[in-house]
Amino acid sequence: MENASVSSAQLSQWSAEQFVIRTLNSSDVQNVRALHTELVPSAPALRPAFFHQFLTHPTHLCLIATLPSSDKPVACIAVSVHVPTSDLTTKRTALPPVEVHVLALGVLPAFRRRGLATRLLYTATAHLRALATKAPQLPSKHTTACSSTRIHSDVSRADSTARAFWKHVGLLEEEKVAPHYESWAGGWRDVVSVAGPIASAA
């Protein structure tokens, strides 16, 4: 990959703040699909339509991180805001937190452990909340109120790195009575749901 030409001496100096983080655009789709395949080779290749929803839908957002010298993504995050249906019946109760689902998150191995996934998560959450205030799918009261943000994601039970990451940002694993499996390439994988509140954007 082009970015691998950065020397390891240079890389060791990089901190999360030095990466460029920007919204996915249509010309990134091919590269970000390739990135996802590189990050999770065991997963089915994501179809272009998965990424197209982030280009058009105000309740969905995909951010990519690049080196300043390149347009190629070294990391990405895809999030969506959960659209509640209970707003018609719970007018007298406190507003629920805005729930953000993390659909994909990954950083190339050479760029890990410098806070990039953490920065992407906080940036995406803040950006999506702002975007969602204009989304007709969400009641304005829900998105403009100073409600907290709750993050939700599913992670492979065997992925100790991802589980350590979610623990680091304060999410708790939800124990389910029955094992939680989801359809995966070549069969099913055992997943753990993680969820919890997250502080406002760092």
Residues in CB range of 47: below 8 A, 6 or more apart: none
Three-class SS of residue 32?
helix
**CA distances in angstroms from 46 to 22, 36, 59, 156, listed in the order given:** 20, 8, 19, 17
Does residue 113 touch ligand COA according to CB under 6 A?
Answer: yes
For ligand COA, the closer of residues 73 and 106 by Cβ is: 106
For ligand COA, the closer of residues 70 and 147 by Cβ is: 70
Minimum CB–partner distance for residue 135 and ligand COA (Å) = 24
* Binder among 60, 114, 129, 189 for ligand COA (CB under 6 A): 114
* Binder among 11, 20, 34, 39 for ligand COA (CB under 6 A): 39
Give residues 59-98 in contact with ligand COA (rule: CB under 6 A): none
Number of shown-chain residues binding ligand COA (CB under 6 A)? 20
* Structural tokens at position 155: 């992670």
Q: How many residues does the chain have?
A: 202
Of 6-14, 48-56, 134-142, 153-161: span binding ligand COA (CB under 6 A): 153-161
* Binder among 26, 168, 170, 172 for ligand COA (CB under 6 A): 168
Of 5-13, 24-32, 83-91, 160-168: span binding ligand COA (CB under 6 A): 160-168
The type of residue at 93 is T
For ligand COA, the closer of residues 145 and 185 by Cβ is: 185
3 closest CA partner among 117, 14, 47? 14
95 in Cβ contact with 146 (< 8 Å): no
CA trace torsion 51, 53, 59, 63 (10° rounding)? 20
For ligand COA, the closer of residues 51 and 165 by Cβ is: 165
HSE (side-chain half, CA atoms, 13 Å) at 80: 14
Binding region for ligand COA (CB under 6 A): 39-40, 105-107, 112-118, 153, 155, 159, 161-162, 164-165, 168
